[in-house]
Chain A
Amino acid sequence: MSEATPNQSLFEQIGGEAAVNAAVDIFYRKVLADYRINRFFDNVDMEQQAAKQKAFLTMAFGGPNNYTGTDMRNAHARLVKMGLDDSHFDAVMEHLGGTLKELNVSDNLIAQVAAIAESTRNDVLGR
């Protein structure tokens, strides 16, 4: 991953689209392998889900996106009915941080990504 320079955006500092692609692969595997949360991913099309993860990570990495709070709410409403709560959101946050650590992203950048992802919590949990 590239070194931080003052003029680069967060997205560029992390490594742009190539970093997103590398991250999706690690992140989605972590999520699917986690018994605390993987039941929420039963019966979903894996390719579509990977594409959604890519869009999510692009947004969290500060990249170009069209995400809105309403999209987040609608997309997760079914899961909230299934019992999705803070503990599950925390687990996903944990995997996001772990993924970036594996990719040798600096702690400073990880904190910025985490802050963006954290900002979706209330929408995801439908509150």
Chain B
Amino acid sequence: MALKKILLDEHETVCQEGETVLEALLRDNVDIPFSCKQGACQSCMVRSLDVPPPAHAQKGLKDVLCKQNHFLACLCYPEQSMSITLGHQPEYFTEGAVIAKELLNPETVLLTIQCKDALDYYAGQFVNLKRADGLIRSYSIANSRRHAEKLTFHIRRLAGGKFSEWVHQELNVGDTISVSDPQGLCYYLPDKMEQSLLLIGTGSGLAPLAGIIHEALEHGHTGEIHLYHGSREVDGLYWIDEMRELAETYENFHYTPCVSRGDALEGVAQGRANDVAMANIPDLKGWRVYLCGHPDMVNQAKRMAYLNGASLQDIYSDAFHVASPTLD
């Protein structure tokens, strides 16, 4: 039988017959995190960079992790040689040019970037945008997969935010910016088309959710799709008309804008988006849930969604942590 070699960061380990990848690496004194050795704790999760890992080694992993060839080293009896990684790969950047810039609301800009190379991403993922001097920030892709070279982003201006201030004030149409490979696990896969979807976003958390919604509708998702978009005040909302139009076009798409402070206009719900959503949809058993935006909202909503019946495997989230210290 051919030897099964495990290549990790240029170090090669031969996996003996009847030996798991974890056992082989530990025998070879490779420093790899692990704990239970039985597929429960998932601390030894690694990712294959070339061949798909055997299905038995992906037991219990979320679908998005399986899709990206993650697997548990302790469960993996390799069927062939594999090249694997423990963490993040060095990032690859492609060159992009700003082709449009417009305001969505007083604090959020819609930025359209034309990339030199088409990016292979899933709706809902994010990229890192890099300024010429190396300053980097993560932003979610706001469009579906239909335009793989033309990406849109919603960039909210944060008080004291170095990158967002620069985008708002200095970045112009025609300027170049580097765009990383797509990343993140909060995205839409076109399976279980009849599954109901609940999407809750605050602020520019609407960006990935809008991408997911368009992607789902383009794939003919048949389940109900409910979007709750929240902000403190009506000023912080955007795309209200666009989302209403979409709800008129697609019978299974429902949209509820929410404001947590101040007066709500007609057609706008009063309250935090996650509270309004959970009150309207108290039983989430069998639902798929997407949560994007403020970290507190994401954490709270995740727990609530789980307690209301959603399975953890069906909850996808992206908490927008703020990089610069803000004056907010």
Q: What is the interface of chain A, defined by CB distance below 8 A to chain B?
A: 25, 28-29, 32-33, 43, 46-48, 50-52, 54-55, 58, 64-66
Contact = CB atoms under 8 A, between A and B. Distances in A.
Nearest to A38: B303
Contacts of A64: 38
Nearest to A63: B38
Contacts of A51: 40-42, 60
B303 A66 contact: no
A26 to B, nearest CB: 12
Contact of B306 (A32, A43, A54, A55): A32
Contacts of B311: 25
A46 B303 contact: yes
Contacts of A58: 38, 40
Interface in B28-58: 35-38, 40-42
A70 to B, nearest CB: 12
Given A25-B311, A32-B303, A32-B306, A48 B40 contact: no
A43 B300 CA distance: 10
Contacts of B312: 46-47, 50
16 contacts: A28-B306, A29-B306, A32-B306, A32-B307, A43-B299, A46-B302, A46-B306, A46-B315, A47-B312, A50-B312, A54-B40, A55-B40, A58-B40, A65-B36, A66-B35, A66-B37
Interface of A is mostly: helix
A29 B307 contact: yes
10 tightest Cβ-Cβ pairs between the two chains A and B: A55-B40, A54-B40, A55-B36, A51-B42, A51-B41, A55-B41, A66-B36, A50-B312, A33-B307, A64-B38
A50 B313 CA distance: 11
Contacts of B37: 66
Contacts of B36: 55, 65-66
Among A25, A46, A65, the one with the most B-chain Cβ atoms within 10 Å of its Cβ is A46
Interface in B1-51: 35-38, 40-42
A35 to B, nearest CB: 12
A37 to B, nearest CB: 14
Interface string B291-308: 000000001001100110
Nearest to B65: A47
A48 B38 contact: no
Contacts of B307: 29, 32-33
B190 to A, nearest CB: 23
Contacts of A25: 311
Contacts of B315: 46
B62 to A, nearest CB: 8
Given A33-B307, A46-B302, A46-B306, A66 B42 contact: no
Contacts of B41: 51-52, 55
A50 to B, nearest CB: 6
A99 B307 CA distance: 15
Contacts of B35: 55, 66
A49 B311 CA distance: 14
Contact of A65 (B38, B42, B299): B38
Contacts of B42: 47-48, 51
Nearest to B317: A46
Nearest to B313: A47
Contacts of A48: 42
A32 B299 CA distance: 13
Nearest to A21: B60
Contacts of B306: 28-29, 32, 46
A55 to B, nearest CB: 4
A43 B35 CA distance: 21
A55 B307 CA distance: 21
Q: By CB atoms of chain A within 10 A, which of B35, B40, B303 has the most?
A: B40
Nearest to A50: B312
Nearest to B40: A55
A15 B258 CA distance: 46
Nearest to B299: A43
B222 to A, nearest CB: 26
